[in-house]
Chain A
Amino acid sequence: AQKVTQAQTEISVVEKEDVTLDCVYETRDTTYYLFWYKQPPSGELVFLIRRNSFDEQNEISGRYSWNFQKSTSSFNFTITASQVVDSAVYFCALSVFSGNTPLVFGKGTRLSVIA
């Protein structure tokens, strides 16, 4: 069975600080996809990134970066120079390639960026 753990329930940082959101996953499948979604106060989840299990290259997109490490089954998300608009709940999710298994979400991390 698949599982995603986001151990940090809530994080508060001051604007311009860097912050890392942790995500640890469990699966026995060798082919899988990892996702991050952002849920702002308006409610809709917004897709941020998808990585497949064969691509361990870290990715950077503006102030966002992702560190995928298969050795520790982690897919951590770092926001550099955080801004108030980054305040949201962030979800990590996992899907496996085999069968028709639905996306499994973690419980989310609520990030508050204080001006």
Chain B
Amino acid sequence: ETGVTQTPRHLVMGMTNKKSLKCEQHLGHNAMYWYKQSAKKPLELMFVYSLEERVENNSVPSRFSPECPNSSHLFLHLHTLQPEDSALYLCASSQDPQGTNEKLFFGSGTQLSVL
């Protein structure tokens, strides 16, 4: 148990659907992250929020829209996705808002399949 909870664990959606992934951390951390893990590729950082403000957006398509309403919750809103967006989406948190050299705590991920 890492203290980071993601829901749902699995999600199947059509290309025209709208869905959201949820992440909650119970660690009192100040930074939260979304990563994408595709088969045979390194983990790709998508978004970073530090003290509830977005500080990093790694050229992610606009069909992915993050939201961080407070320091404990992070959402990833999905709409009109493509089949190549199928992947494991991992949420992580860290104590330090500058976070780049910090140990990350990960959730178990949401396995997304886009049909």
Q: Is A46 an interface residue (CB 8 A)?
A: yes
Alpha-carbon distance A42/B101, docked complex (angstroms): 25
Complex contact A47–B100 (CB within 8 A): no
A81 within 8 A of B: no
Which residues of A come within 8 Å of B, CB atoms?
A: 4, 9, 33, 35, 37, 42-47, 50, 91, 95-97, 100-108
**How many pairs of residues, A versus B, come closer than 8 Å at their CB atoms?**
57
Beyond A43-B108, A45-B90, A46-B2, whether A100 also contacts B98 by CB under 8 A is yes
In the complex, which residues 22-70 of chain B have their Cβ closer than 8 Å to any Cβ of chain A?
40-43, 45, 48, 55-56, 58
CA distance A6 to B2 in the complex (A): 25
Closest Cβ–Cβ distance, residue B95 to chain A (whole Å): 12
Given known pairs A45-B90, A100-B98, the reply for A50 and B108 (CB within 8 Å) is no
Q: A100-B55, A102-B48 are in contact. List 10 more A-B contacts (CB 8 A).
A: A37-B106, A43-B107, A44-B4, A46-B2, A47-B105, A50-B101, A96-B100, A103-B104, A104-B42, A106-B42
Taken together as a complex, chains A and B put the C-alpha atoms of A47 and B107 apart, in Å, by 12
A103 and B108 contact, CB distance less than 8 A: no
27 A-B pairs with C-beta separation under 8 A: A9-B40, A33-B101, A35-B103, A37-B106, A42-B108, A43-B90, A43-B107, A43-B111, A44-B2, A44-B90, A44-B107, A44-B109, A45-B90, A45-B92, A45-B104, A46-B106, A47-B103, A47-B105, A50-B101, A96-B100, A97-B101, A101-B100, A102-B100, A103-B45, A104-B42, A105-B43, A107-B42
